[in-house]
Structure 1
Amino acid sequence: MRFSQILLVFCLLLSSGNTWANTFSYHLEKLEEGVYAAIAQPGSRASSNAIIIEAGDVVVVAGAHFTAEALRDLISAVAMVTVNPIRYFVLCHHHRGFSHIDLDFPPNKDVIMSWQTYQALASEPRATRFPVVFFDQGLTLKLGGRTIILTNMERGHSEGDTVVYLPESGILFTSDLFYNKGAGYLGDGHMQDWILALEFLERLRPEKIVPGYGPVAKRSDLTDFKNYLRAFVSEILFLIEKGHSLTETKKKFSLPRYEDLAGFKQFRDVNIERAYHDLKENVVGSP
């Protein structure tokens, strides 16, 4: 037996457990046969989680915030769990102005995304050099006996967030609509729509949830994040209704129950700014 075959057998034997080997950027966790959470590792080249789905003799990979280096690590991670090729990438969202991410997919692989995500990507100075498939409200893939439902949640964390749902097993990938055990980045968010999106995802009653960041979660974790976001938004609204400026709101804002959440202090000011402007424009009705 050649060395490469021995190595492949060794890797496949390792994959029988619930947790899997690490690449530099991702730690793999087996959710069920053929489905793996790729958890971004702190300090690595990945800043957001992904999901790997085997569907017959092909693979679907979904996620966001893909630097060229993180993509290489993720593709290597796929090769650690299956010999099957990647057929589709799903880009769950893109933040305008970040031309160093999400534009380095292999030129021979289709990348699926919402039409809003495509518009955001097309606005970058770098051109897309890979095939793009974009959709409006939703897209269902039937591959190798597996059903993969892609839903455009529209405005939430971004202009057009896509979630991935496997109905047979109840596995949900939310991308950055949900941060598990963390405050998250609200910088492009639409607060009311985001909370409504989380309520919709709760009603799916998923069995396992792969968040945009943090460990694999259960429904109660999703509810915890929704409650945090609602409390954050309520505090901003309270201060707006008191007539406070953005500067005053930053000084007076207080949410002691959630101050120990990962990223709360790091993103505090930018999250307040985004929530303040979004709520002033869309709820209070003044710029």
Structure 2
Amino acid sequence: MAKAFASAADLEEKTVTFAELGSGVYAYTAEGDPNTGVVVGDDGVLVADTQATPVMAQDVIRRVREVTDKPFHHVLLTHYHAVRVLGASAYGAPNVIASRNTMEMVAERGQQDYDSEVGRFPRLFQSVESIPGLTWPTLGFDERLTLYMGRDRVVEIMHVGKGHTQGDTIAWLPKEKILFSGDLVEYGATPYCGDSHLTDWPQTLEKLKELGPEKLVPGRGDALMTKADCLDAIEGTKAYVTALFQTVKGCVDKGMSLKETWDHTYPELEKKYHNWVIFEHCMPFNVSRAYDEAKGHVRPQIWTAERDKEMWANLND
């Protein structure tokens, strides 16, 4: 029997946790679904990643309203993937923050990404008709933007390097040593590498380690409450992306086709990572991107709904 496409068969609702990491700092997590971060300042709220649709975002908003009635001032896009950003309009925040490299991705491939991801994640695009269109940033930066959300609440917004995408952005609370990593770091979940820069990703993760986070909200997986768990998540993500690229590059160096590379790489990574969330979903996209990068294609190809399904069928034949 052919494997169901991507996450098309994943229809089971997840249990949501709204965890407090520190005074006024929260993580919205759901058993490996995309996470959202919340920071409450003196006068307003920052949301890091928004859920996939305005209707899906309402559950985040409901939980935020249980702890504060302050208005939403900032939405941060840690990167641009539809499943994380298309719920932004629900918050009514005047500032939608993204790195310049992320803005470039919206312009270049935002609509294709929208069409592609709706097909991959039907459960996560509840009430897709509520999406008013692409989420466009209103406030951009190159490397660093500092938000003063109160005398005692400083949030450093930083693009420290490429990895999951070319525009990856983190939110760092230096006083509290709390890190919102976006999909640069996952915990118990398979990194999606379809738009990645695999040779850069490990070095970018080293920069996150240098910050010394004591609490961390990954892109997927539980919020991490100890320094040891933060390090474990960073190192685990680094080990996966390194193993993926090294295995695929070895195949490319031997002149293997993409299908031959897939047939070799999948069982190698399955041995260690098969229990990670969305492993089956991510692997075809990950091997395809690693294969391209190993062959010298630095810039990821644009995924379209048509390309998704053609690739899936070819590799899973």
What is the TM-score with the length of structure 2 in the denominator? 0.73
> Residues 9-48 of structure 1 correspond to what in structure 2 (within 5 A)?
26-41=16-31, 47-48=33-34
Decide which structure has greater strand share: 1
Contact preservation (8 Å) 1:53, 1:60: yes
Q: Does 1:230 align with 2:245?
A: no
**Structure-2 separation of matches of 1:83 and 1:99:** 24
Query: What is the SS of the residue equivalent to 2:295?
Result: helix
- Residues 102/90 of structure 1: CA separation in 2 closer, same or farther (3 Å cut): same
Stretch moving more, 118-127 or 54-63: 118-127
1:199 corresponds to which residue?
206
Is 1:166 aligned to residue 178 of structure 2?
Answer: no
How far off is 1:167 after superposition? 0.4
Does structure 1 conserve the Cα–Cα contact (< 8 Å) formed by 2:75 and 2:88? no
* Closer, same or farther: CA 109–41 of 1 in aligned 2, 3 Å: farther
For 1:143, the equivalent position in structure 2 comes to 149
Against the structure 1 CA distance between its residues 277 and 65, is the aligned structure 2 distance closer, same or farther, given a 3 Å change threshold? Answer: farther
Once residues 131 and 236 of structure 1 are traced to their aligned partners in structure 2, the CA distance between those partners, rounded to angstroms, is 35
User: 251-260 vs 133-142, which deviates more?
Assistant: 251-260
Alpha carbons of structure 1 residues 25 and 152: separation in structure 2 relative to 1, 3 Å? farther
Greater Cα offset, 268-277 or 165-174: 268-277
Contact 2:191 / 2:237 at 8 angstroms: preserved in 1? no
Q: 1:130 to 1:94 in 2, by over 3 A?
A: closer
Q: CA deviation at 1:131?
A: 6.9
Give the length in aligned residue pairs. Answer: 255
Query: Which residue is equivalent to 1:263?
Result: 278
1:195–1:229 CA contact under 8 A, matched in 2: yes
Between structure 1 and structure 2, the one with the greater Rg is 1
Considering only aligned residues, what root-mean-square deviation do their CA atoms show, in Å?
2.5
Unaligned regions of 5+ residues in structure 2, if any? 1-13, 112-131, 225-229, 299-317
* Residue 195 of structure 1: how far off its partner (Å): 1.5
Contact 2:51 2:85 in 1 (8 A): no
Deviation digits for residues 246-271 of structure 1, max 9, x if unmatched?
Answer: 11101111222223322222322111
Q: 1:180 to 1:103 in 2, by over 3 A?
A: same
| CA distance in 1 between partners of 2:168 and 2:178 (Å) | 17
Q: Per-residue deviation at 1:207?
A: 0.2
Determine which structure has the larger helix proportion and give its number.
Answer: 2
Q: CA deviation at 1:65?
A: 5.0
**In structure 2, distance between residues paired with 1:209 and 1:84:** 24
Find the counterpart in structure 2 of residue 112 from structure 1: 97
TM-score between both structures, scaled by the size of structure 1: 0.80
Letter in 1 for 2:68: T
Q: Report the identity percentage.
A: 32
